[in-house]
Every structure is written in structure tokens, then in C-alpha cells.
């Protein structure tokens, strides 16, 4: 087998890699070596990885190469380099969770469902990607592994909490990246780093161990192309008995209808959901992106979905989860945690049963509102984020009207509450050269439709990668 140019190989989509493996014109071993070499070149300034296992990756790559040479791949992504967010269990590896509480922990004895399914299908796990402590906030820095930075401008944040995965995707450090999303955590960094991400319908991909954030928590793909994410969905959505909430098997091939376009679809565009304050440059870029769908044959109407900002009851769910997460820790251990995490956990500890019950009721009402909205509209389009990426190492921009990450993510957390599928696609750049993302929201269970619409936009407005930004 022969190898292409290193940069080309690192940036090849998983779909193309599999095709080249099948034709025996490219080797999983050579691709894995190239990805590892790329990591050694570009990772240090951005700090996307917290663990890299070169020996294990190359061992699995050799096994994959042997399978391809005899025409017997073990699955859909055999030989494709992949990464795992450092919140997800990975057999034989310590789960750091961005926390000093993991120091001295034993390696895991089992995989999380998404990891297990990708492993069964032959993915080559390169390493684990950075997360804030326990994934609690919308930027990626932690007491354990420090600050992760944006490849388009390393003084800026990539967002979070799956910031390491998004940075790895943007810089060609693997083709497939597993993230988690409890309030926007695959979509926020996708928007800030210019890659694709999908938060699937709640329950579509198995979650284990159960999240302290309950059904807010989702597992989803981060990739450089929509089709690669579709390939990941085909693999990761397999049922797992460890997740009592997981939906029944969906036999749908997520790649089947990606090329069907958007003609005759009814789309609503909301620039601010009726309540958000949005950076003017971001608003203009996203509005122009939404018009692309009209040009592609969809019906586009400016329409807010009809709910007020759910930040208060989202934070009740979120802060209560943070409280539960650290409630067993002593004062000495808490002193080593992210101070912001401790602050919100203490707020969560103060909620009464009546307050939490009301938050659950409000969540139900929000779900009802969105169900009704989607009787009139197939999809909702919004900005991914209210602002461009800001300084790395901060939870909020300086100056900022609020103290918490939820203040600048009004477009993401509502759809964790409703459990709807929501994708983010890159749709342009600010004058300062920072990516801007468009969010595509569908009704529950309409994941294939969301991805089809994202693919139509990708084809009309191809995504750009920062090949030359960091030492490439």
C-alpha cells in the first residue's frame, strides 16, 4: 500500500479512507502513523489531547491492515483513526475527566457504549481528548490538563466541553471524534472551531455510566464532514442494555438520504429565539447562511419558536447535577476542584424539592411547545452561538453581563431540555478570521433529516479547515 501526502492523509474523511483501504491503495498503518506525526507537530500549542497511546494505536492499525489485505474488514470504520473525550470509559485506560480526583485511579475494565461500538467496527483509538472538569462548563480548561486553545487563533477558546475533540477534528488529528453534549458541548466547540457536530435525539446513543445530568446528557459525533458523522451514527446507535433510557434499535442508514437536498422542506429561521442578544457580525453571517436554503428550494420563514429563555430551569437541572456529582467529596478534595464547579454545585445543593419539581414541569412545557412548533415547520435554523470565540482560559468573555457559560450559549441548552436532534455546521468567518456556526434543529427522532439538511449546506458551502494555522 502507498501513502498520499501527509496533510492530505490526515485530512481525508473516514468515508474516503475506507474506500482507499478497500482498494488497497492506502494502509491503516500509514494513516495512523501520519495522524500520530501530525499530533506531535500541532497538538502542543492547542492542547487537544490528554492521553495518546501510540503503541496500542499502531498495534490495532496492523491488525486492521491485515484484515483489509484479505478483504475481511470487521466493520464500517475499520482502520479509521478516532478519539475519545476524556469523560467516556475506555477499557484499559484511566478516565481523567479533567479532574485531579482521577490521579492514581485504576484503568477502566469496560468501554462506554459509543466506544465499544466503534471498537467493534475497527476504529483505531489514537487517544483521549480534553474536557473541563467533569464536563461541567462550555469551555475547555481543567485543573488536571490546563487550557485547550482554538486552532484558528490560539489566544481564543475552542469552547467546550468537547473542545479537545473539536480541535483534533479541525487540525486533522483523527477523522472521527466522540464528544458529549449536556448543554451544547459538541455544538459549542463545533461552532467555535469550524467543524461539524450532531447532538442526536436523547436516547439515540447509549450513555453509560448514567450521567449526573440525567437525560440532558447526550453522546454525539464531531467530524470534518457530515457523511463521516453519519457513518459514526450508523455505528454508535447500536443498543446497549446498560442504558435504560436508550431508544430501540434504529436500522436507518444515516448515509442513505444525505444527497436528497432540501426542496419543499419548511424551515423557520430565528436569529435570537425571541430573547437572545447576538453579536451583530455573527447575526449577519448566520442570516446569510439561512438564505442558502431558500436558494436550494426550501421554504424559509422568519419565526421564533415561541418560548422564553429557559436558562433558569436549565440551570436548576444543571447545578443540581453538579451538586450530586461532587456531594461525596471532602472539603480537602473540593479545594482541588474547579472553583466554578464548586460554586454552582453549592447553588444546586440549595434548591428545594418544589423548585426542582417546577423545573421539571417547565421542561415538559418547553417540550410541548417545540412539538407544536414542528407541526408547522420541519426544521428550525438558529445561530450556533451568540458570540465569536473569546479569550482562552475564561468561562465568559471579559467584560460580560453574566458570570456563567450559559449566558453566551442561549441557542444550545434549550434543545438538551427538549431532547431534539441539533447539528452545527460552519457557515462563515468573522472579519477577525474566527468561525461562525449555523444550528439546524429538528423534531425528536428526525436525526436523519437534520443530517440531510446539514449535508445540503455543506455541499453548497464547503467547510474550510485551518491547515496552515498551527505548524502545518
Catalytic residues: 85, 161, 185
Contacts of 77 (CB under 8 A, 6+ apart): 14, 18, 118, 121, 122, 123, 176, 231, 232, 235
Q: In which element (H, E) is residue 4 found?
A: none
d(CA 202, CA 138): 19
Cis peptide before 161 (omega within 30 of 0): yes
* CB of 440 closer than 8 Å to CB of 454: yes
Backbone angles phi, psi at 421, to 5 degrees: -70, 140
Task: Look at residues 396, 404, 397, 398 and name the one whose alpha carbon lies nearest to residue 344.
Answer: 404
Length of the chain: 472
Three-class SS of 379-430 = EEEEECCCCCCCECCCCCCCCCCCCCHHHHCCCCCHHHHHCCCEEEEEEEEC
* CB of 392 closer than 8 Å to CB of 141: yes
Amino acid at each position: 500500500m502507498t501513502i498520499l501526502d501527509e496533510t492530505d492523509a490526515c485530512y481525508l474523511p473516514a468515508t474516503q479512507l475506507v474506500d482507499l483501504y478497500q482498494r488497497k491503495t492506502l494502509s491503516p498503518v500509514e494513516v495512523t502513523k501520519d495522524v500520530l506525526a501530525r499530533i506531535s507537530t500541532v497538538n502542543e500549542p492547542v492542547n487537544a489531547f490528554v492521553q495518546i497511546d501510540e503503541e496500542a494505536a499502531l498495534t490495532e492499525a496492523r491488525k486492521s491492515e491485515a484484515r483489509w489485505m484479505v478483504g475481511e474488514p470487521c466493520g464500517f470504520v475499520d482502520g479509521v483513526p478516532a478519539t475519545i473525550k476524556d469523560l467516556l470509559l475506555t477499557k484499559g485506560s484511566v478516565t481523567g475527566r479533567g479532574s485531579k480526583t482521577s490521579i492514581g485511579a485504576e484503568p477502566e475494565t469496560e468501554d462506554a457504549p459509543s466506544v465499544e461500538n466503534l471498537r467493534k467496527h475497527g476504529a483505531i483509538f489514537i487517544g483521549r481528548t480534553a474536557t473541563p472538569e467533569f464536563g461541567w462548563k462550555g469551555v475547555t480548561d481543567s485543573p488536571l490538563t490546563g487550557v485547550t486553545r482554538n486552532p484558528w487563533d490560539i489566544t481564543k477558546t475552542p469552547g467546550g466541553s468537547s473542545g479537545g475533540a473539536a480541535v483534533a477534528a479541525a487540525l486533522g488529528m483523527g477523522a472521527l471524534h466522540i464528544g458529549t453534549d449536556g448543554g451544547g458541548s459538541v455544538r459549542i466547540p463545533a461552532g467555535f472551531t469550524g467543524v461539524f457536530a450532531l447532538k442526536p435525539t436523547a436516547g439515540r446513543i447509549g450513555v453509560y455510566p448514567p450521567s449526573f445530568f440525567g437525560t440532558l446528557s447526550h453522546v454525539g459525533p464531531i467530524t470534518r464532514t457530515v457523511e463521516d458523522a453519519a457513518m459514526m451514527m450508523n455505528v454508535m446507535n447500536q443498543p446497549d442494555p446498560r442504558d435504560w433510557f436508550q431508544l430501540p434499535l434504529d436500522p436507518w442508514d444515516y448515509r442513505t438520504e444525505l444527497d436528497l437536498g432540501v426542496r419543499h422542506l419548511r424551515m423557520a429561521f430565528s436569529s435570537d429565539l425571541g430573547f437572545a442578544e447576538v453579536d451583530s457580525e455573527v447575526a449577519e453571517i448566520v442570516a446569510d447562511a439561512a438564505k442558502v436554503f431558500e436558494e436550494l428550494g426550501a421554504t424559509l420563514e422568519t419565526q421564533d419558536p415561541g418560548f422564553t429563555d429557559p436558562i433558569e430551569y436549565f440551570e436548576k437541572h444543571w447545578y443540581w447535577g453538579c451538586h450530586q456529582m461532587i456531594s461525596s467529596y471532602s472539603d480537602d478534595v473540593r479545594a482541588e476542584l474547579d472553583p466554578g464547579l464548586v460554586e454552582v454545585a453549592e447553588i444546586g445543593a440549595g434548591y428545594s424539592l418544589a423548585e426542582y419539581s417546577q423545573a421539571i414541569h417547565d421542561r415538559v412545557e418547553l417540550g410541548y411547545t417545540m412539538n407544536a412548533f414542528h407541526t408547522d415547520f420541519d426544521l428550525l435554523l438558529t445561530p450556533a452561538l451568540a458570540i465569536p470565540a473569546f479569550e482562552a482560559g475564561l468561562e465568559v468573555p471579559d467584560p460580560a453581563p453574566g458570570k456563567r457559560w450559559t449566558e453566551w450559549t442561549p441557542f444550545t441548552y434549550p434543545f438538551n431540555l427538549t431532547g431534539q436532534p441539533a447539528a452545527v455546521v460552519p457557515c462563515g468567518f468573522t472579519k477577525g478570521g474566527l468561525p461562525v456556526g449555523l444550528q439546524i434543529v429538528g423534531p425528536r427522532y428526525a436525526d436523519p433529516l437534520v443530517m440531510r439538511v446539514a449535508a445540503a449546506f455543506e455541499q453548497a458551502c464547503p467547510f474550510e479547515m485551518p491547515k496552515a494555522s498551527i505548524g502545518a
